């Protein structure tokens, strides 16, 4: 009887060890997949965006191409853990935003430098925005004033996925002009943009639902304009994935229109 008990104890111990080893291997695999960084995003024949990262795997620059030529460069500057400066650099202009964080809000305006062969002309554009974050650092509400027009965007983010966004345009003053609501559903595999450590509030503002943790499979948008005319649209997304469950190709269908985006990752 003692021998039987000893054998059973040994079998139990071996099974427990195998379970632990399997869990460790799974965690290591998940950790490896989590840091996969997007290198290029190509849409159609003429549009490509290339990504560059710092040592913390945060986006540092994005180069946007039109054909083989660089159309403009986006440059992000960090102070400690915070994203503090954004620049779009064109051949004839530079658009700059300085992000100011105060508690759970981030505010910024946009300044413009117009460049020609004779001189540089500096202008302050009236693009004022205030972003409110939730406790996880995700965007909740964006209030913006653009050239005298006021609007608000509300974000609903569940498990790292943007499931709903609502847009209210109040026009000049409090005159109600238009509303729009978008709803998104997701699959179980990762999105192409989810592997980097760039602040999530910026990723959702720049890439919208594409910045979600999982790849979006369907989006539906319902809009009502100033004349109370209702517009509805629906888009579905199909993917090809690599062995790490990151997408390498996305085919987007909106009505009769179809577009393809391809993704490549850093080695």
**pLDDT tens profile 232-241:** 999 999 999 9
Give me the residue spans of the domains in the chain: 1-34, 35-265
CA distance 73 to 95: 11
CA distance 142 to 105: 10
- Banded pLDDT at 112 (limits 50, 70, 90): confident
**pLDDT tens profile 178-213:** 789 999 999 999 999 999 999 999 999 999 999 999
Which residues in 16-32 are b (16+ Cβ under 10 Å) and which e?
eeeeeeeeeeeeeeeee
Query: For residues 183 and 219, is the Cβ–Cβ distance under 8 A?
Result: yes
Q: What is the token pair recorded at 199? A: 């602040």
- Banded pLDDT at 140 (limits 50, 70, 90): very high
CATH 3.30.450 fits 35-265, yes or no: no
Closest CA to 182 of 168, 193, 170, 167: 167
Length, in residues, of the chain = 267
Q: What is the token pair recorded at 110? A: 């946009």
pTM here is: 0.81
Query: For residues 131 and 105, is the Cβ–Cβ distance under 8 A?
Result: yes
Residue-level pLDDT at 267: 85
């Amino acid at each position: 009887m003692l021998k039987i008990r000893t054998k059973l104890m040994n079998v139990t111990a071996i099974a427990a060890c195998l379970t632990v080893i399997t869990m460790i291997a799974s965690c290591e695999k998940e950790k490896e997949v989590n840091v996969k960084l997007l290198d290029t995003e190509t849409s159609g024949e003429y549009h490509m965006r290339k990504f560059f990262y710092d040592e913390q795997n945060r986006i540092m620059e994005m180069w946007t191409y039109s054909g083989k030529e660089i159309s403009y460069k986006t440059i992000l500057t960090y102070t400690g853990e915070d994203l503090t400066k954004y620049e779009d650099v064109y051949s004839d202009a530079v658009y700059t935003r300085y992000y100011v964080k105060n508690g759970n809000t981030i505010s910024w305006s946009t300044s413009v430098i117009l460049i020609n062969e004779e001189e540089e002309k500096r202008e302050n554009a009236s693009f004022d925005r205030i972003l409110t974050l939730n406790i996880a650092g995700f965007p909740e509400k964006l209030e913006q004033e653009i050239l005298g027009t006021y609007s608000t965007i509300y974000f609903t983010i569940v498990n790292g996925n943007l499931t709903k966004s609502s847009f209210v345009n109040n026009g000049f003053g409090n005159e109600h002009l238009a509303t729009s609501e978008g709803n998104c559903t997701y699959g179980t595999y990762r999105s192409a943009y989810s592997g980097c450590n760039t602040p999530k509030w910026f990723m959702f503002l720049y890439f919208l639902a594409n910045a979600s943790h999982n790849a979006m499979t369907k989006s539906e948008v319902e809009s009502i304009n100033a004349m109370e005319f209702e517009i509805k649209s629906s888009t579905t997304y199909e993917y090809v994935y690599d062995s790490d469950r990151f997408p390498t190709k996305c085919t987007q269908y909106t009505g009769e229109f179809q577009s393809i985006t391809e993704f490549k990752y850093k080695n």
